[in-house]
Structure 1
Amino acid sequence: MLLILLGVIILHLVILILLIVSTAASAWTVGEGSSRDLWYDCTTTNGDYRCRAASNEDWIQAVQALMILSLLFCFFSLIAFLYQLFRLVKGGRFFFTAIFQVLASLFVMCAAIIYTVMSPDGTQFGYAYVLAWVAFPLCLISGLIYIILRKKE
């Protein structure tokens, strides 16, 4: 049972790290001498690296909000799991943790879909975008594991 709990906690921490990197990294889209993320649009011209704030369009603000919400819900589900690990009665299920984790999964999926649909045609997506898509199924699987998992003595 200890190995299962350790594996679940490690999976959760990996998901949290993926969400942090995908939210903060400046590589949602990449191109010739430019990169764009959720917060900045950066270009390199003749060795000069310049960044300006991301556009104020509604869709990018929605993606920003959804990624932050996914981060918060993933973090809160980790806290809820640790709390329930010590306070939950024997045989109880980690439903509260699972709900938070599934919500985090839905938020990151919605953010990635919005970014995909609203990005211009011919856009080359960067590693942060890919990490967001990798975090989605891992987060969903983790939430399902929490639903199945029961507390044992």
Structure 2
Amino acid sequence: MSHDNIVLAWTVGESRSSYLWFHCHTPNGGSFCKPVPTGGWIQAVQGIMVLSVLYCILSLFFFLCQLFYLQKGGRFFFTGIFQIISSLLVLSAAVIYTVQSEYWVNEEEEEGFGFSYMLAWVAFPLALLSGLVYIFMRKVQAFPSKGEDPTDKVMLSHAPQLLNW
């Protein structure tokens, strides 16, 4: 089995691997791939993962918009909400795949989960954490504007409030 197949696969075995969009069999050194059967659960996982990526891209877009147009002291609510939705979508897809993939796994071949499957489980808490950070993060001014005192430490002046001092 090639390195690319192991990296992209959600389930891997000695002579076959399963992805979100296709299955591959590697008998006698050759590789034969075909689209996954159209079942309700795999299409749900595919759609949910696509939605997760879209929500993540939207959160990046909202972050850039809020970075330039949000008032000083405002919070990045839209960015955080969309990032949290993205993380929950990844969680949903990974749970559905975990529960339903047992019907795909060939016990005689000792198949296991691949790198992409594990990456989905790592992406969930990281996206959730970043969404929570965005919600609690406030926009502050790091550099003084024209006419402001450059010795005013805006970042440090908020530290007692952030730490509840």
TM-score category by the smaller chain? 0.7 to 0.9
* Superimposed CA distance per residue, residues 49-101 of structure 1 (whole angstroms, 9 cap, x where no aligned partner): 00000110000000000100110101110111011000001110000001100
Quote the Cα distance in structure 2 between the aligned partners of 1:140 and 1:114.
18
Aligned mate of 1:70, from 52, 71, 75:
52
Task: Give the TM-score normalised by the residue count of structure 1.
Answer: 0.82
Structure 2 match to 1:127: 115
Cα RMSD over matched residues?
A: 1.1
Task: Give ranges in structure 1 of 5+ residues lacking alignment.
Answer: 1-24
* Superimposed CA distance per residue, residues 3-30 of structure 1 (whole angstroms, 9 cap, x where no aligned partner): xxxxxxxxxxxxxxxxxxxxxx631000
Q: How many residues align?
A: 129
Percent identity at matched positions? 57
SS in structure 1 of the partner of residue 31 of structure 2: strand
SS in structure 2 of the partner of residue 92 of structure 1: coil
> Which aligned runs of 4 or more in structure 1 are off by greater than 2 angstroms?
none
Matched, 1:33 2:21: no
Quote the Cα distance in structure 2 between the aligned partners of 1:75 and 1:28.
23
If each structure's helix is expressed as a fraction of its own residues, which one has the higher value? 1
Matched, 1:88 2:70: yes
Quote the Cα distance in structure 2 between the aligned partners of 1:87 and 1:146.
16
Task: Give ranges in structure 2 of 5+ residues lacking alignment.
Answer: 1-6, 142-165
Task: Give the TM-score normalised by the residue count of structure 2.
Answer: 0.76
Higher RCO (C-alpha under 8 Å, 6+ residues apart): 1
Matched, 1:56 2:44: no
